[in-house]
A and B are shown apart, each in its own frame.
Chain A
Amino acid sequence: MQNRVGAGIFQPYRNLWKLFQKDEVISEDASWIFRFSPYLIFALTLVIGSGVPFISLHAPDLLNGGISFMPLGDFITLIYLFALATFFLALSGMDIGSGFGGFGSSREMTMAALAEGGLFFSLLAASVAAQTGNVFGMVENLQTLPLQSFSPLIIAFLAFFVALLAENSRFPVDNPATHLELTMIHEAMILEHSGKRLALMEWAAANKLFIFIALGVNIFFPWGVALSLDPGALFASLVFFAVKGGVLLLAIALIESLMAKFRIFRVPDLLFTSFVLGVIALTLIITF
């Protein structure tokens, strides 16, 4: 799309591997928060990932030998756990005392605060449609919903998509590949990280995008997610997930290649639009 060959698909993994082999330079102004945050943020993405449906709705219940819902799936808990990761990311950006980290944190918290509206309301709309607050329950119930009730959910998905772009620092909210510090939001906060801490931050960001994509395609397009642990069903579910996820990733890549990044004070308009779309979706669902 950009008319060049570019790095390979596995380049991020090669980057991570190299980063783990490098030493680190840590600022003398940094405190234990800077040293501790990357581990916490990475662990949080793993914790959240354990509470999100990817290809199956059930996990083997090792104690009883049956299958059960994962305990973590309440959507409010998931949203606030993400917010906790953002909180520590912003703190570690401020910890180093450089101008870049400071304004990166300021912008990140602004965008996160505003994006939360659209994210919450889109998931709330899906939750009301599915009559449950647990994401696994949402996927299961929404699979059986008749197709004509899906139109408000498409609107909710649009709201969720905008929130996805905002939370994961993608176009048109943020440029993940920029070198100009004044145009950075997420990158500005990790300018000071190096070595394994940088690897953990990059990995955590990738995990976060993956979890958002999984939430988006599995809740709003829930067909194909396996309901049991049967290997055939799991394989089919994996294929479905790859296809749906691939389409969503293609959409993100298209937006990145076709569009310019918004000026920062135009982004709140976009985020408020996502919030309004979420409210519209919710109103449609509760009225019908």
Chain B
Amino acid sequence: MDFFNSPTSILSIIALFFIGGVGSVFLSRIYADNGKAAGTFAHLAALLASLLGLITAASVLFNGQGIFFTLGTLFSAVSFDFRVDGLSAFFLGIVSIIAAATSLYGLSYQKHFYGKYNVGIFGFFYNALIASLMLVMIANQALFFLLVWECMSLASYFLVVYEFRNAENIKAGFLYFLMAHFGTIFIMFAFFLAYKATGSLDFDAWRNSVGALSPLMRGLIFGSVLIGFGTKSGIIPLHIWLPEAHPAAPSHVSALLSGVMIKTGIFMFVRFFFDFFPGAPMEWGLIFLVLGAISTLLGVLYALSEHDLKRLLAYHSVENIGIILLGFGAGLVFFSLGLETFALFALAAALYHTLNHAIFKALLFLGAGVVVSETGTRHMEDYGGLIRLMPYTAFFFLIGSLAISAFPPFNGFASEWLTFQALFVGISSTSSLVKGVFIFSIASLVFTGGLAAACFVKAFGTTFLARSRSEKVSKAHEGGWPMKVSMGMLALLTVVLGVFSTTVIAALVGVVASMGLIDPLTYRFPFAEFISARDQFANVLPLHAVAMILLVIFLVTASVIMWATRKRKIVIGKTWDCGMPLNSRGEITASSFSRSLITIFRGLLRPTKQTSTEYHDENMRYFIKFQEIRTEIGDPYRQALYGPAHRVLTFVASWARRIQSGNVNLYLSYIFITLIALLWWAAR
């Protein structure tokens, strides 16, 4: 048992990923079976390593004993410090669960790559991604962290452009690469500012440096952290890469990206604002609340306007990051006001939603993966009737939809409920600015709940229900058993985490509290005593009671009514549509389902409609021969933010190009002038 709570476990996990990645490349060279052996090996290695990671995380948490070790240094700058404390263990657990599910899923999904793409390379980058995701959570030194962060960005880039024959994927990958490095620049800036303020690159030194930061320095660091890690998390307006990159990747990689990778941003937010430099002024909490509220509402509105299934899910990730930031911002505000207990709960709400979103988003992406790979298209307008062809996928996707729309007794409801409670505390504060921001946050969360439910009625209904809307879709069939098992496990987790929400909330409070309560010598933290406090919530959030009562009443009512009407016959007939023959064109489409909401919110969404018409007689222009109508949603970020930034950058760059005149004499004079200036500076 002690094995799982020691550095050996961490090293074995990394070793397993390494073997999995390198081995998969070798196997793809040795065997000529289209990569089947390589892929299976890679996915099995990842599965094993993830399970090991899960057990390690669990044992760290339940024993209350962290893992801290160093492997050495490189170039006397990069020091391989590892630290697995309560927070790291929690996030490690999230990564492990999702990675285990996606690895199992991948065993069946990889058959779509046979003969088209090199599965060995896929296995390599897949293992590299999960390994770097885990390492990001446990790195304890700034340069080591940056090294692993870069690994993660590169591995995910190669996975996004894996299906390179599709030109859109390349474009999406490039945008993702650009935005990821844009964020990394700010992260590096923040790290070096902290180095300047504290004199060290160790995270431990930063933890112990309370009070050594001037307000200006702290503000700069927090701002860079916000932009840097915010780009990774997908906060509006830094989110433009998300709806391009996540759909482009293979589906189980999308699940990893959406479920886990954007949470690394949240992880570092918690680290910076609560672990390294606690005591942020209240304005930062309000900034996070406002950003969270905007991301939530806009994310769900953009999701409503999508008819590409995976883009819809990607926008929902933006929405849920907004919800997480609401809890996080509330925690910051309470901490700055001295309300430590409420801060604990608000942060626990944010972490709970992190966990829940990872699980149900992965479930949804895995389900979408089955649909997309079997039908060959991401376009929702072609789907329909899949519930008969893929009953298990439909059922698990339904569970995921119920969870993400925050219905009791699933886990999404529990974390949104806790976030609501945290926000309610905030509205009774004294300052009207704080009250106003909290009311705005509550309003955006309330509307998001309803709009997300509408969006998933559309997504589930258009994809799975009624009749097929196109020929190719009617030939789809169910996925293999690894897909079913992995989705089933995640669906079960959504139910379990919802019904046992009181235990989970108590555990999360323990995780959050453990950040401040770690004994620096033995690295122990009192996690176990928080779990025993769960009974205090049982009366307030009785989700187990709800689930049980619902089940009982449903079974009783159904049996009574079915017995009372047992003699009635059920005749199967055609759908009633006023006596007309029904075809697939008569069903509602995804775009028209959300048209009412888009029209209502047209101020925010700015829908456009372009009509191009071809007439039989161009002079008379009366009888239409052919008409094409394009409805689109405006993209204000590219128009107002990125477009001008790009133009300014190009302008400045081409202006600065004048320095390179091609004249060697001019270059020599540059060197001469610089030399004079440096000599003058040194002699000063």
B587 close to A109 (CB less than 8 A): no
A27 close to B573 (CB less than 8 A): yes
A121 close to B446 (CB less than 8 A): yes
Q: Is A40 an interface residue (CB 8 A)?
A: yes
- 1/0 per residue A186-225: CB within 8 Å of B? 0000011001100010000000000000000000000000
> Closest CB of chain B to A177's CB: distance in Å?
19
Determine the residue in chain B with the shortest Cβ distance to A22: B568
Cross-chain contact of B466 among A25, A97, A286 (Cβ < 8 A): A97
> Closest CB of chain A to B161's CB: distance in Å?
36
Cross-chain contact of A97 among B424, B449, B586 (Cβ < 8 A): B586
Q: Is A105 an interface residue (CB 8 A)?
A: yes
Cross-chain contact of B597 among A87, A110, A128 (Cβ < 8 A): A110
Determine the residue in chain B with the shortest Cβ distance to A116: B450
Across the interface, which residues of A come within 8 angstroms of B428, CB to CB? 128, 286
Q: Is B610 an interface residue (CB 8 A)?
A: no
B549 close to A50 (CB less than 8 A): yes
Cα of A103 to Cα of B591 in the assembled complex, Å: 11
Cα of A20 to Cα of B561 in the assembled complex, Å: 9
- 1/0 per residue A66-84: CB within 8 Å of B? 0000011010110011011
Cα of A90 to Cα of B458 in the assembled complex, Å: 9
Cross-chain contact of A47 among B550, B558, B596 (Cβ < 8 A): B550
A195 close to B568 (CB less than 8 A): yes
Cross-chain contact of A282 among B402, B427, B564 (Cβ < 8 A): B427
Given A33-B387, A87-B405, A87-B457, decide whether A275 and B443 contact each other with a Cβ distance below 8 A: yes
Across the interface, which residues of A come within 8 angstroms of B572, CB to CB? 25-28
Among A85-139, those with CB < 8 Å from B are: 86-87, 90-91, 94-103, 105-107, 109-110, 112-117, 120-121, 124, 127-128, 133-134
B576 close to A105 (CB less than 8 A): no
B407 close to A40 (CB less than 8 A): no
Cα of A80 to Cα of B405 in the assembled complex, Å: 9
Determine the residue in chain A with the shortest Cβ distance to B466: A97
Cα of A46 to Cα of B552 in the assembled complex, Å: 11
Across the interface, which residues of B come within 8 angstroms of A44, CB to CB? 550
> Closest CB of chain B to A147's CB: distance in Å?
23
- 1/0 per residue B582-600: CB within 8 Å of A? 1000111000111111011
Cross-chain contact of A106 among B465, B564, B575, B596 (Cβ < 8 A): B596
Given A77-B417, A113-B451, decide whether A102 and B553 contact each other with a Cβ distance below 8 A: no
Among B529-586, those with CB < 8 Å from A are: 539-543, 545-546, 549-550, 553-554, 557-558, 561, 564-565, 568-577, 582, 586
The secondary structure that dominates the B interface is: helix
A100 close to B577 (CB less than 8 A): yes
Given A26-B571, A31-B388, A90-B461, decide whether A114 and B577 contact each other with a Cβ distance below 8 A: no
B439 close to A282 (CB less than 8 A): yes
Q: Is B114 an interface residue (CB 8 A)?
A: no
User: Could you count the A-B residue pairs with CB atoms below 8 Å apart for me: how many are there?
Assistant: 230
Among B442-493, those with CB < 8 Å from A are: 442-443, 446-447, 449-451, 453-454, 456-458, 460-462, 464-467
B557 close to A39 (CB less than 8 A): yes
Cα of A11 to Cα of B28 in the assembled complex, Å: 74
A26 close to B573 (CB less than 8 A): yes
Q: Is A23 an interface residue (CB 8 A)?
A: yes
> Closest CB of chain A to B576's CB: distance in Å?
6
| Contact size range, B | 35 or more
Q: Is A283 an interface residue (CB 8 A)?
A: yes
A47 close to B571 (CB less than 8 A): no
Cα of A70 to Cα of B558 in the assembled complex, Å: 24
Cross-chain contact of A113 among B450, B561, B564, B571 (Cβ < 8 A): B450
Among B617-652, those with CB < 8 Å from A are: none
Determine the residue in chain B with the shortest Cβ distance to A84: B407
Q: Is B607 an interface residue (CB 8 A)?
A: no
Cross-chain contact of A116 among B420, B447, B576 (Cβ < 8 A): B447
Cα of A42 to Cα of B560 in the assembled complex, Å: 13
Residue of A24, A32, A110, A279 most packed against chain B (CB within 10 A): A110
Residue of A97, A100, A112, A268 most packed against chain B (CB within 10 A): A97
B417 close to A76 (CB less than 8 A): yes
Cα of A283 to Cα of B427 in the assembled complex, Å: 9
A80 close to B454 (CB less than 8 A): no
* Interface residues, chain A, with chain B CB atoms under 8 Å away: 20-33, 39-40, 42-44, 46-47, 50, 71-72, 74, 76-77, 80-81, 83-84, 86-87, 90-91, 94-103, 105-107, 109-110, 112-117, 120-121, 124, 127-128, 133-134, 191-192, 195-196, 200, 264-265, 268, 275, 279, 282-283, 286
* Interface residues, chain B, with chain A CB atoms under 8 Å away: 384-385, 387-388, 398, 402, 405-408, 413, 417, 420-421, 424, 427-428, 435, 439, 442-443, 446-447, 449-451, 453-454, 456-458, 460-462, 464-467, 539-543, 545-546, 549-550, 553-554, 557-558, 561, 564-565, 568-577, 582, 586-588, 592-597, 599-600
Question: What are the 10 tightest A-B residue pairs by CB atom distance, in nearest-first order?
Answer: A102-B588, A97-B466, A113-B450, A94-B461, A109-B454, A43-B554, A27-B575, A116-B450, A84-B407, A98-B577
- Can you name 8 extra interface pairs (CB under 8 A) apart from A27-B575, A196-B561? A25-B573, A27-B576, A91-B461, A106-B592, A110-B454, A110-B600, A192-B576, A286-B435
| 21 sampled A-B residue pairs with Cβ under 8 A | A24-B570, A25-B571, A27-B576, A30-B575, A72-B549, A87-B453, A94-B462, A95-B461, A97-B575, A98-B576, A99-B586, A99-B587, A99-B588, A103-B592, A106-B592, A106-B596, A109-B454, A116-B450, A128-B424, A282-B439, A283-B439
